[in-house]
Structure 1
Amino acid sequence: MTDRTNTTNTTDTAARTLAARLSGAVHAPGSPGHERARTGVQLLDPHRPAAVVEAADADDVRAAVAWAAEHDLPVAVQATGHGRGTGLSGGVLIDTHHMDGVHVDPVRRTARIGAGATWRRVIEAAAPHGLAPLSGSSPSVGAVGYTLGGGVGLLARRYGFSSDLVHRIDLVTADGGARAVTAGSDPGLFRALRGGGLLGFGAVTGMEIGLVPVERLYGGGLLFDLGGDPAAVLGAWWRWAEDLPEEMTTGVSVVSYPDLPVLPPHLRGRLSARVAVSWSGPVERGPGLVEPLRKAGPLVADALGVLPYSASAAVFDDHDEPAAYRGEGLLLDRFPLGEAVEVVRRAAAAPFMAAVWLRRLGGALERPPAVPDAVGNRDAAVALTLLTLDTERDTPAMAGLRAGASELLAGHTLGRSLTLSFGPVDTERAGTAFAPGDHARLLELRNRLDPRGLFRSHRPLG
């Protein structure tokens, strides 16, 4: 029988020896800091580390990694906890939320961002200079983690993946060493981290990214009542979206809302589709471009208008509360209307909350970046994510719904998206996010940098 007192004393002693090397705090199990850091926005499968390091700076990250390596303990890194999949059991969790500094150079159109910075902080720092980052649909998401996975944001069809505009990555490797990784210093690792950086190469402490000259959008959302015919609105959206200028990024989210008094009256008991519009061209052209879409079906709400980029959260209006969710993000060769409608019908009939997200890809996303990166399946036309939500669990029925959608769409699936999949992605599926040659190179490089598997990732390469 385990002596709990001795176990607790051992854990506390280990935490104290680690704390002696750091500026930031170290939290042992059972403390408030430990409980806060180990969860995050994703409530499923929280981390259960032996110690949480609230890193104050890159030196703390290096010291924590070196200490873990000395004691042969696994390491995971978390900022906001949006993308966590399988939680860490034992070992050291490095919490980077204090490392949230942002410095904008308006002349070079760049931003230096810390590992814990959210997109909101980057957007707010860039906006006074008439600039914007290639941020995602939710400003509360960590900018570094999002970018490492590629990132399909609000300006994606015009400027490409978020990882395409990365200039430098500051990395702590498994030996506790620090590297400033650029195209000139280490082209192989620079390529791997941009699009493959969620796969366990090390702990990223900061980045330099490019910014783009966007101050305003014509955007927001149109909410349609799908009634019993999802095909009408989804088909009309695709016919509208198929040949749009690259300055238009758009998507649809379909949700079946229960008839509950806690919901707004216009949502109760409805199967609704919200079309998101992000037009970054001349704002005066926006209304004319969108007008045909307003006839797609019964319009419940119209929230389109001219927005400062600092208000870009209104475009996709993403759910932002902590929840237990899992999602399958598929990259498709075309928009198969019949199969997409069937996925929507299955999600709507489920006895739990489920949502289907569709995003029009193409445009700049199809083109290779100026400096090669690891993002695969650039020729995909559409991304489809099926998301299941609960307050505390992922049931077999939820997993079955996601698996059924993957099977239904298998004939059109080019691969997976790391940033549009939520939760753990197994080895086989993670490999489909990359070109076959890139997958092999990533695996070889990861094994060379971290031969003992110190860094734990929910995007395993093999």
Structure 2
Amino acid sequence: MNSDFDSNVFSSSDLDELRRRVRGAVHGPADPDYPTVGFNVALERHPAAVVDAADAADIAATVRFAAAHGMTVGVFATGHGGTPVGSRSILVRTTALDTCDVDPEQRTARIGAGVRWQSVLDAAVPHGLAPLCGSAPTVGVVGYLSGAGIGPLVRTVGSSADHIRSMTVVTGDGTLVTATADENPELFWGLRGGKGTLGIITEAVIEMPAIAEIYGGALYFDGADAVRVLRAWRDWAAGLPDEASTSLALLNLPAMPQVPPMLAGKLTVAVRYASVADAETAAAVLGPIRELAQPLLDAVGPMPYAAVGAIHADPPGPMPVRERGGLLAALPDEAVDVIVGAVTSPVAPLLPVVEIRALGGVYAREPRVRSALCHRDAPFNLNMVGVLADEQAAAAVTGVVDGALAALEPWMTGATLPNFVASDDPARVRASYDEDTAAWLAALADRLDPHGVFRVGQVVRS
């Protein structure tokens, strides 16, 4: 356990002083409503205080307070991408920053730091606009965008961060700054992909394409066909047009109300698909996959963009998980065998999702405005999700996942994507960036955060 969790170093008078500086509620560890649990309940969060920021001014005041007291600041919206926070830190919750204003004529949305993608979908879809969310609409917008974001349409639209018009951020000296391609361009570059390195993002303005309907969903096959389906999917994905995006998930789902009975309690293979082409063209592209084997469930067809979350059908509720993975340079038959071996091992029920996303297409091309997102040339992203039910389960899952990743090393690039790091380990965080980008981010952070306030979580520092 990190020593930061061992004891609290914040006095009651310090709490009182912080309360006087902000409008929102401030919770200490002794308070009954001390809120620290996010989506991943396996993460330990024991901050000195939790500030429910009422607005951006509260965040700025908290940062200045932390700097004056030699403390660090972490941020928490939905907790999906969180990392541990210790007792020498103040945790800022951004839930109250819930602005979600859609401009149909400009095709933009102004979004506060506490907003989830589902709220943006609800506001934008009636205007025929498509917020470029990730696979789960329950995820917070700003945290997702800070890691650049690859969603169900990634091969068609690129990274979600490529569609940001502006971001407003509280930097390490407690200053509120707006960054665009023309105003504070270096900061704008680093905020898109740099996660929490450069400050706390309070608001983002995003651009949205006019997409009302897509052809999408998932084909589910029996796990007995896993090797054959994965090999065929790999070859098929390599030839996809830009209009189509896909991922494949090996699933070990328990029996629960939201899981169709034919998919529960056994290994299944989900081929996810999303296309902006017309239904006839999109169906023809998917044809070779449909013909591989008799699917257990065919849930692919024309769908309103509002239902984009149904493609991946990620679980909405909190759970204790451990995620590991990385970018793949290739997916040969030997790698397929390693991956399938992991999900058919004795700990398979504790590995509910092992996912491979096909990249390429528009995503692999240099965007109009560059960002800190690196490694766009990798063809696949691998993510393995294990459930940490108890210490014994955690050890078993860790052993299988680490063993699989070691066996896959010949085909992995050694790099990761920011939103799939799920760790504050400096080496793993830096693996999201090439050497130059990491150095630029660290230098920019040192300049904007001279007191080292933002050294909590997924940050790059010198």
**TM-score under structure 1 length normalisation:** 0.92
> Who is 2:337 aligned against?
341
> Who is 1:303 aligned against?
299
CA distance in 2, matches of 1:390, 1:217: 36
Work out the percentage of aligned pairs sharing the same amino acid: 36
CA distance in 2, matches of 1:76, 1:108: 33
Q: CA deviation at 1:293?
A: 1.1
Q: Cα deviation per residue 1:246-285 (whole Å; 9 max; x = unaligned)?
A: 1111111102346899975313442111111111222343
Q: Aligned match of 2:219 in 206, 219, 222?
A: 222
CA distance in 2, matches of 1:325, 1:8: 26
Q: CA deviation at 1:382?
A: 0.7
Q: What does 1:70-149 correspond to in 2, within 5 Å?
A: 70-149=68-147
1:401 aligns with 2:397: no
| Runs of 5+ consecutive residues of structure 2 not aligned to the other structure | 1-6
| Runs of 5+ consecutive residues of structure 1 not aligned to the other structure | 1-6
CA distance in 2, matches of 1:381, 1:184: 32
Contact 2:74–2:92 (CA under 8 A) maintained in structure 1: yes
Q: Letter of the aligned partner of 2:397 in structure 1?
A: M
Q: CA deviation at 1:311?
A: 1.0
CA distance in 1, matches of 2:296, 2:90: 49
Compare 373-382 and 388-397 and name the one that shifted more. Answer: 388-397
Structure 1 ranges of 4+ moved more than 4 A: 7-10, 257-264
Q: Letter of the aligned partner of 2:220 in structure 1?
A: L
Q: Letter of the aligned partner of 2:406 in structure 1?
A: E
CA distance in 1, matches of 2:331, 2:389: 32
1:8–1:389 CA distance, 2 compared to 1 (3 A): closer
Q: Letter of the aligned partner of 1:211 in structure 2?
A: M
Contact 1:216–1:283 (CA under 8 A) maintained in structure 2: no
CA distance in 2, matches of 1:322, 1:461: 27
RMSD (Å) for aligned C-alpha atoms: 2.2
Q: CA deviation at 1:15?
A: 2.3
Q: CA deviation at 1:389?
A: 1.2
Contact 1:137–1:313 (CA under 8 A) maintained in structure 2: yes
1:348–1:30 CA distance, 2 compared to 1 (3 A): farther
Aligned length: 451
Contact 1:195–1:375 (CA under 8 A) maintained in structure 2: yes
Q: CA deviation at 1:366?
A: 0.6
Q: Letter of the aligned partner of 2:31 in structure 1?
A: S
Q: Letter of the aligned partner of 2:219 in structure 1?
A: L
Contact 1:252–1:357 (CA under 8 A) maintained in structure 2: yes
Q: Secondary structure at the match of 2:34?
A: helix
Q: Aligned match of 1:251 in 236, 247, 271?
A: 247
Q: Secondary structure at the match of 2:301?
A: strand
1:9–1:240 CA distance, 2 compared to 1 (3 A): closer
> Who is 1:42 aligned against?
40
Q: CA deviation at 1:297?
A: 2.5
> Who is 2:30 aligned against?
30
1:377–1:307 CA distance, 2 compared to 1 (3 A): same
Q: Secondary structure at the match of 1:306?
A: strand
Q: Letter of the aligned partner of 1:274 in structure 2?
A: A
Q: CA deviation at 1:324?
A: 1.0
Q: Secondary structure at the match of 1:428?
A: helix
Q: Aligned match of 1:231 in 214, 218, 227?
A: 227
Q: Secondary structure at the match of 1:358?
A: strand
Q: Letter of the aligned partner of 2:416 in structure 1?
A: R
> Who is 2:263 aligned against?
267
CA distance in 1, matches of 2:336, 2:425: 24
Q: What does 1:346-385 correspond to in 2, within 5 Å?
A: 346-351=342-347, 352-354=349-351, 355-385=353-383
Contact 1:112–1:209 (CA under 8 A) maintained in structure 2: yes
Compare 121-130 and 249-258 and name the one that shifted more. Answer: 249-258
Contact 2:388–2:397 (CA under 8 A) maintained in structure 1: no
1:284–1:441 CA distance, 2 compared to 1 (3 A): same
Q: CA deviation at 1:317?
A: 0.7
Q: Letter of the aligned partner of 1:302 in structure 2?
A: D
